[in-house]
A and B are shown apart, each in its own frame.
Chain A
Amino acid sequence: MSSPSCQLDASCADASAPITCAEIDASSRPLLLLVVSAALWLVVGSILGLISSLTFHAPKMFADCAAMSFGRSHPAANNAFLYGFAVPAGLAVLLWLAGRIGRTKLIGAPLVVLGWLLWNIGVTVGVLGILQGENTGHEWLEFSRSASGFLLIGYVAVALAGVLTFRARKEGKLELSQWFILAALFWFPWIYSTSHLLLLIWPVRGVLQSVITWWYVNNLANVWMVLVGLAAAFYFVPKFAKAPLHSRPMGLFSFWSVILFGSWAGIPAGAPVPAWIPAVSTLGAFLSIAGILATWLNLSKTLCLADRHAQRSLSETFIPFGVKVFPVAALLGVLAQPAGVSGLLNFTWFLPAQQQLLVYGFYGLVLMGALHFMVSRLAPVADPKPMFAFLHFIGCAGGVVIFFLALACGGVAQGGVMNDSTVPFLNVVKGTLMWIRLSSLGELLMILGNLLFLLNVVLAVVRFLKVSMESFMAENAKPAGVRA
């Protein structure tokens, strides 16, 4: 391996440890299945997203094609991103980290393969279903009952392998990242099964459905994704800085803040529910501010110790960027909660912009960084060319920044005129078009970035398979040679 980041593994090569990093990585190869399918869904999702935003460039484009119309391609894109990419990619990172930090091989590889298969059947059925009009009507939970069932069983299978690997760790005392890993493994099945049961199997009535949907969306984005993203950040950032984390107690404070307060936010003021629900939600959001600031301080104090002039691998550009985006995205989410601001920003393009910054700018980029690192260890190949790395980073990071800035500015402007009842509603809509069209530029860049991510992952895996196959053939050719 010639990558500049390969020395980063030094910390793992503990002489007293009976197992080496290479052995752990070799046992973790089934996780590559999750990584490849995640990269593929990421591209599928971003292309569907572009199709949906074409509506704002030419509304009549898909007038005769139901599957490509905005109301179908938009949720299909979002679900392909969430369940095709975000969750399985997160699981791959969680399982690999559980093995690496716990210094143990991956346990339960067949469970991973089974879970991967079920999960991807579920996502395929779900996305195709949405395009055909099988939408449950609950945002972020649009997959049909059957598709969600596959997802839940698939998740449990993969997470079970994660828990087994976690339990096989060598040390009882936990590294900071392990706190986040364990919580994340349990968080998703609870929130997903609760909302699945109460929305699709025995549906509750009326606005209770919306309360549960808000609760789920917030828990997936502001708790689960944050737990996984920070698990990776707290593992990689000290590695990159070649120094211990600035403060472990501060990191633990971040952990408790995320799971105790982060899980309460997300229900907007003025919603047609008893008034205490949005009020408690706003309180929870405000209580999480200290944790967000502590996370930011902790990670940036550690990051500033890194050598600025050293050649950087892909993960060393992606993860620090995501880490810097986190406090911005999370604080904007908090600030949009109180009634005064919500009156202006709710229902505008600001909220999708903030959400994209959190789930793609923070979570997506940290995950891509972690996956690049992981893939380069699981299927060792040379680092990509600098031009490739540059385009990949500009695509993902530049794309999400343009997308966010365009829609956030457009959203604030939209909120202002929407609240002025003297402006006809159609003029409000027309006023947002310029911003939406600008955001499509960001989307195009993100597609480029996502495509390069897929290309890098697939090339690494294909080259690795080729090399393994050749060595396998060479080994098996010997007896034949003797016989001849």
Chain B
Amino acid sequence: MLQFDRVSLDESTDALRAEVREFLGENQMHFPHPNSDFVTGHDPEFSRKLGEKGWIGMTWPTEYGGAERTFFERYVVTEEIVAAGAPVSAHWIADRQSGPLLLRYGTEEQRKTYLPLITRGEAFFSIGMSEPDTGSDLASVRTTATREGDAYRVNGTKIWTTDAHRNHYIICLVRTEPPGDNRHAGMSQIIIDLKNDDVQVRPIANMAGGEDFNEVVFEDVLVPADRIVGEPGNGWEQVTSELSYERSGPERFLSAFRVFVELVRACGENPAPHQAAAIGQIAAHLMTMRRMSISVAGMLEQSKDVAVEAALVKELGNNFEKVLPEIARLAVPSGPEAAAFRSTFEETLLLSPSFTLRGGTREILRGVIARGLGLR
């Protein structure tokens, strides 16, 4: 598991990369203030433009609106968009997580219904896992979905739900059976329309001044029974596998990338030795993590289980996203000429506590790695 294969991107990806850069150049108006944190920019129009290019759900089968491109090609598109700091939050979860989940576990009808909408940038999804009393211990969720005829009655509260106030759907982890001896049994995932009048979405302001996450309350919300993802009772397997999809991508080590760009700019063409070292230190980390992430894309391409490798990439990547601004700040003198750097630095520093929380906390990931090492 510590062997990350020497994978190179194919020459054919050069043209795709150039095409993405050209597209990003033409669409600069969508991100006058670039930010590489994938949660910060929500722009449905930009997402629809990406959908038109075929860059959402690009590895999925064409019959569901996908482009049947490789994981390497998807990797190139995502890293270019994130590094540029373009707004991706609207479609990000649907593309990275909800779509692959439905593709793997969903019913045929669910695949036909939602996947084409996702690929066009017309259906945005939120994740309904955490609850007020359920953080890392996902098996303790209390939200219930009780079968009533051909519907489920849903009651409970989900929290830290990014973009629930703007997205179309939420996939919630719920209890369809009361907890028994096996606490991982009796859980299911269900697709709920966020525009349903019985769903209440309350914004939660974050410390960085953003209002992208929410508390979502379900009070006697009736959801058609065919919205259960795949089979009822399969929820635990689904969430554990979808969490590993989301852990190895470029967004796990590039969140602070714009700070690096502004650092290089602030240091100028002839940096002092300590400034050059700061730039080089960050670059060395980024180059290495990027190659590890590409190695995982290669494993995904071969349909291998990437749970531990993805956790290793996220462990390194998220920690480094927090260290990057710390290295950069010491290399840039204060003063009006450093205003652009300061602005990007401060914005990123305020977001940085979230980097090692979202998608599985650092502590949970270290547990996953320890299991891979045979310690648990």
A and B found bound together: no
Point out residues on A near B: beta carbons under 8 Å.
none
